[in-house]
Structure 1
Amino acid sequence: MSIHVAITRRVRPGSEAEFEERLSHFARRSLDVKGTQGVQMLHPAPGAKHPEYGILRTFATAQDRDAFYASALYLEWEKEIAHLTDGAPDFRDLHGLEAWFRQPDAPRPPRWKMALATWAGVYPTSLLLGMVLAPQLHSLPKPLAALIISGCMVVCLTWLVMPAVTKLMHSWLHPSE
């Protein structure tokens, strides 16, 4: 399963054009790095008071991600743009719903398809957890039992069910590939 990372950069006012040019050049070069599967850039709205740029990167593995951010190419770029940005970048690994449907080489599927695919994962998971866990938790207060079941559901969906569902439904979710 691919690793998705969202990076946010705050650019100093008046430095937007230079930052965009350098980012575009760096993004093209960075695609040659082993394990890099894609990069997308998100531009701030025109006239934003504090321009923030988003960079979405996809890597084949966590090791590829870590190697990329420790690479000379990345560290050089950080030095190159230090005078254009305010503060350090904000990194977030994307998990769960935000990453289930993200493919480096395909547009995101329509919301209705994402909803149906999610339902296809949630329904059998909720049935199974209800049959297996509910009888074991019947002596607990209902809110506590629901907390335990919902926690198990989130873990199952995030690491087991939705990766399998999106893999099985890939051609339906991304028919243009």
Structure 2
Amino acid sequence: MSVTPSQAHVTRIARRRAKAGREREYEALVREMFAAMRDAPGFIGAQMITPETPGGDYQVIAHFRTEADLKAWDESPARAALQPRLCAAGENEPEYRVVTGLEAWFGPQVVAPTTHPPRARMALVTWLGIFPTVSLYLWLVAPWLSPLPFLPRVALLTALIVITMTWGVMPRLTRLMRGFLNPSAHS
């Protein structure tokens, strides 16, 4: 089964400042929004990244299965009820960026470098995804591709692995391992 861009996992990043003195209220409203999102069809997960320095931008990252699921959330009564309160606590209109699939890996950095997990932990989690995926494809698929010349065989195997990692393994693995990847955010 192939995944078309309209079916791909979609991530929306919203940046906004809270009004001075209303930061705790804003954070509580974002957490309330996350609770409401849990009931939305296609919702995968969300996180809030607080500003590195006082008065800086908050980043709210929401993951949905499809663009249609994100659109349904945007048009939902639950979101409509929260928006006026978020606008009242927010200093400006949010700036949105929507990314899907591999675009999130190659787009400009959105999160401050200090909020990224340590590289060693990212490498370990990536290996935990790649090792079984590659092993499975080498065991199950490689024998069927053996009549092909080397480069087409490698091209097909790596394409299968990239598709599986991007839309299957890594979204689930990073969600499962988020406490390990970002221990300070979950302590």
Task: Quickly name the TM-score band, shorter chain normalised.
Answer: 0.5 to 0.7
User: Mind listing any 5+ residue stretches in structure 2 that lack a counterpart?
Assistant: 1-7, 107-116, 135-150, 153-158, 178-187
Is 1:83 matched with 2:88? yes
Bigger-Rg structure (1/2)? 1
| 1:164 partner letter | T
1:112 to 94, 101, 123: 123
Residue aligned with 2:70, SS: helix
Q: TM-score, normalised by structure 1?
A: 0.58
User: Mind listing any 5+ residue stretches in structure 1 that lack a counterpart?
Assistant: 101-106, 121-126, 129-156
Alignment map for 1:1-177 (pairs within 5 Å): 1-45=8-52, 47-48=53-54, 50-95=55-100, 96=102, 98=104, 110-112=121-123, 114=126, 162-166=162-166, 170=170
Q: TM-score, normalised by structure 2?
A: 0.55
Residue aligned with 1:64, SS: helix
Change (3 A) 1:76 1:169: closer
Aligned residues: 133
Measure the CA separation in 2 of the matches of 1:168 and 1:6: 21
CA apart distance, 1:39: 1.1
Change (3 A) 1:13 1:97: same
Report sequence identity in percent: 19
CA apart distance, 1:29: 1.9
Contact 1:13–1:51 (CA under 8 A) maintained in structure 2: no
CA RMSD, 1 decimal: 3.9
